[in-house]
A and B are shown apart, each in its own frame.
Chain A
């Protein structure tokens, strides 16, 4: 199975900060990469599909980029509601595999 890693595992940031989270695949996955946001006690929410396409209804401060093995999720100006854990997911090879998550909390 393809292994997904994320860095950092956690970060502290302030409202208004630009935040970048990295996801790396153990082998090339083209752009078959998804980003999910999960708030404590809640179900995950789809943010990005196809590595860079914004899911309908998701604020434009979220963006995704990358192809092959290296991907990034960027929040251009962190808002209070963005403090959460972010997971990447690959669907290029069976089985689909999630990254371990990046927790974003308040500095």
Chain B
């Protein structure tokens, strides 16, 4: 069964303090690893898709990387508006559904 584990559950940083969020996964044939951002009371907002080990994607202060067992979301010099819950999900070769991790709740203090 496909599984996704995100760590830490919650992370509090000062503005400008860079860090990384982890997403470990077990999947029978990865067909895509997805990162989303979710603000309270809203639907998840798509950030990145990664398909193969070694792949990297960047958007503003965010950079996502992928290995055969995990993905990292690196946040460089974060701002308070980066505060949100970040969700990781995988899709396997044998299924169409996304399997989500529990998310990392990120808080950036000014």
Do A and B belong to a common assembly? no
Residue positions of B touching A, CB distance < 8 A: none
